[in-house]
Structure 1
Amino acid sequence: MPMSAVIGNTEKTQNLWLAKLITAALFLVVCLSWGTTWLGIKVAVESVPPLTSAGLRFLIAFPLFLIFALVRQDPIFFPRKQTGFFVFVTLTYFSIPYYLLNYGEQHVSSGLTALLFSSMPVFILIFSSMFLKERIYTSQMVGIAIGFASLFMIIKTQGLHLGHTGIFGVAAILVAAIMHGFCYVITKQKGSAISVLTYNTLPIGVAGFLLFVSGLWLESPDLGAVTLRSWTALAYLGVIASVGGFIAYFILLKRLSPVILSFVFIIFPVFAVIFGSWYEGQPISSDLATYSAILLAGFAITKLPVEKLLSKNAKEHLG
């Protein structure tokens, strides 16, 4: 083989490994940025009420999203015929759920919040069956049962009981997960032609404004009393967790299959539990570790329908 061909093959191999390394690094960035989001929210609401906190986060993120959209020359506005869908996304994906998450974290640990929210892909599966007529396989139903049974045991072992404020925090976070799952399915049905940047940019700006103004009216926050720690957390949430994590995820959409990329929702709660335990000074109990592992394993099963994969492999083998 000519020396030039050998050098060419070596360069291709090196480029392939570099591409894989970059992809792995981006995947880790997304897991870390989304895994630390929950701790950031926890710190932010220490001295900023939940409505105001959610609004400030989005108001910080909006100019950066706007610049990113302009650089990529993506449209800012939704198509005129989809104004109603724009309102739906602004309210059910950004405004209400993020207020609920901020409210919930006033009463629930950041690690438990992430574990609760990791149920969101399961709600996507359920709503896809209801609205898109997609099939739920037996193995996925088993995974759902395992996941939610483990989630119940986690809540029980964490000492949250009916009548305590903690249960309202849990309910708020689960409602946020349900709303996100519902919004994802309706988006697949009605907004698949809208670019990812268009989908995020203006809704984030409008939601940030609505949440912040609502916070000023209903919460009357004393912004002068906000601690440096909370401001830092808000800046982190707006710049790193929202924009940085989004850009990394945006790039990964073109590099990985949706199934592999969806495992971000299984991995980031692990980081959230670890960072939350460190910040809040609470050791991870054996019960929490065990039930969390079972929960994430159950939700992972929902992403890999065994029957569908076996059927596909059988058809390929016969073909």
Structure 2
Amino acid sequence: MGEKKFLNNKYFILLLFLIVCFTWGTTWIGIKVSVETVNPLLAAGLRFIIAFPFLILITIIAKSPVLFPRKSLHFFVLLTLFYFTIPYYLLSFGEQFVSSGLTSLLFSTMPIFSILFSKIILKDKIFFNQLIGITVGFVCLIYILISEGFVISYTDFLGVIAILLAALMHGFLYVYSKKAGEGINVFTFNTLPIGVAGIILCLLSCCFEENNFQNISLNSWMALIYLGVFASVGGFIAYFFLLKKMSPVILSFIFIIFPVVAIFISSIYENKIISINFIICTTIMLLGFAITKLPGNFFKKNK
């Protein structure tokens, strides 16, 4: 009873929430460091290869099935390709040209894509506050990209598009999983897709990238281990534990908080001064996205 009481303690849940915000906020600098001396396909693949044995062990301990139900094989393929394989390659590719702080800001658009796909796939209603939040958020994001010069540089802009595509794919799979992933255990949901994605990415790297493991720096190896063990495994377990203990709406504010963590850490590691203009636009953008989290009848109640 003592352990159960501890796990339900509000201070423990708050601590876990802050840990997830910090872990997801530092993921972006981890990707940035990993691709300094590792090619993007290999970096994404090694991250998952490192995480896979730990997830297998956890899945066995939890007595959860490793394999997907036969009727859900199409969902397994979609999840493997469009949630893990392609998006994480795109993120590794994008961070070769975009700062880790801005990458996190771009990826924080994922819940917005979820709202749009919810309308298309689940026929959910889009509320007035969501339209306001989406409009404000994306206008600020476009202004940030223009002011930071990412629309002028072709390679930098290519990195931005890659990151936004990764966010779009995640947004789609978050919504589609509500429809196709019902009843699938959370450990089953992640374990085998991560393992298969890791193998696919490493095989593609062997075919299309020139790799020299002797040139991989210690910093890149440490970043890959951090991404594999702490971000992919630890962050995943903590997030899904919180999903059972907290409101999904409150939990979704992680996507508003982690960019702040990432931008702060990015400015320190990459020795980049954050302008007042960038801070103001980022704040307005994240507030815009936060508005989309308000209840649909919020404005009606406050008339």
Interval containing the TM-score (normalised by the shorter chain):
over 0.9
What does 1:39-78 correspond to in 2, within 5 Å? 39-78=29-68
Q: Is 2:170 the counterpart of 1:161?
A: no
One-letter code aligned to 1:280: E
One-letter code aligned to 1:79: P
TM-score (norm 2): 0.95
Structure-2 residue corresponding to 1:275: 265
3-state secondary structure, aligned to 1:83: helix
Equivalent pair of 1:140/1:305 in contact (CA under 8 Å): no
2 CA distance for matches of 1:84 and 1:30? 30
TM-fit CA distance, 1:148: 0.1
1 CA distance for matches of 2:6 and 2:137? 37
Structure-2 residue corresponding to 1:183: 173
Q: Is 2:280 the counterpart of 1:290?
A: yes
2 CA distance for matches of 1:93 and 1:306? 28
2 CA distance for matches of 1:80 and 1:220? 37
Structure-1 residue corresponding to 2:76: 86
Q: Deviations over 1:161-213 (max 9, x none)?
A: 24521000000000000000011111111112111110100000000000011
**Residues 156 and 307 of structure 1: CA distance in aligned 2, closer, same or farther (over 3 Å):** same
What does 1:227-306 correspond to in 2, within 5 Å? 227-306=217-296
Unaligned runs of 5+ in 1: 1-10, 315-319
2 CA distance for matches of 1:265 and 1:297? 11
Equivalent pair of 2:101/2:264 in contact (CA under 8 Å): yes
3-state secondary structure, aligned to 1:253: helix
Structure-2 residue corresponding to 1:144: 134
Equivalent pair of 1:111/1:272 in contact (CA under 8 Å): yes
3-state secondary structure, aligned to 1:254: helix
**Residues 26 and 168 of structure 1: CA distance in aligned 2, closer, same or farther (over 3 Å):** same
3-state secondary structure, aligned to 2:244: coil
1 CA distance for matches of 2:296 and 2:123? 19
One-letter code aligned to 1:254: K
One-letter code aligned to 1:228: L
Unaligned runs of 5+ in 2: none
Equivalent pair of 1:92/1:179 in contact (CA under 8 Å): yes
TM-fit CA distance, 1:152: 0.6
Structure-2 residue corresponding to 1:30: 20
Could you say what the CA RMSD is over the residues aligned between the two structures, in angstroms? 1.8
3-state secondary structure, aligned to 1:135: coil
TM-score (norm 1): 0.91
2 CA distance for matches of 1:126 and 1:178? 10
Could you tell me which of 111, 121, 136 is aligned with 2:111?
121
Q: Is 2:53 the counterpart of 1:95?
A: no
One-letter code aligned to 2:176: I
1 CA distance for matches of 2:58 and 2:153? 46
Q: Deviations over 1:106-146 (max 9, x none)?
A: 00000000000000000000000011000000111000000
TM-fit CA distance, 1:309: 7.6
2 CA distance for matches of 1:267 and 1:308? 22
Greater shift in the superposed pair: 151-160 or 37-46 = 151-160
3-state secondary structure, aligned to 1:75: coil
TM-fit CA distance, 1:307: 2.0
2 CA distance for matches of 1:274 and 1:243? 24
TM-fit CA distance, 1:35: 0.2
2 CA distance for matches of 1:17 and 1:65? 21
1 CA distance for matches of 2:56 and 2:6? 33
One-letter code aligned to 1:175: L
Q: Deviations over 1:68-109 (max 9, x none)?
A: 111000110100111111011000000000000000000000
TM-fit CA distance, 1:224: 1.2
Number of equivalences? 300
Equivalent pair of 1:53/1:102 in contact (CA under 8 Å): yes
Q: Which has the larger radius of gyration?
A: 1
Equivalent pair of 1:37/1:241 in contact (CA under 8 Å): yes
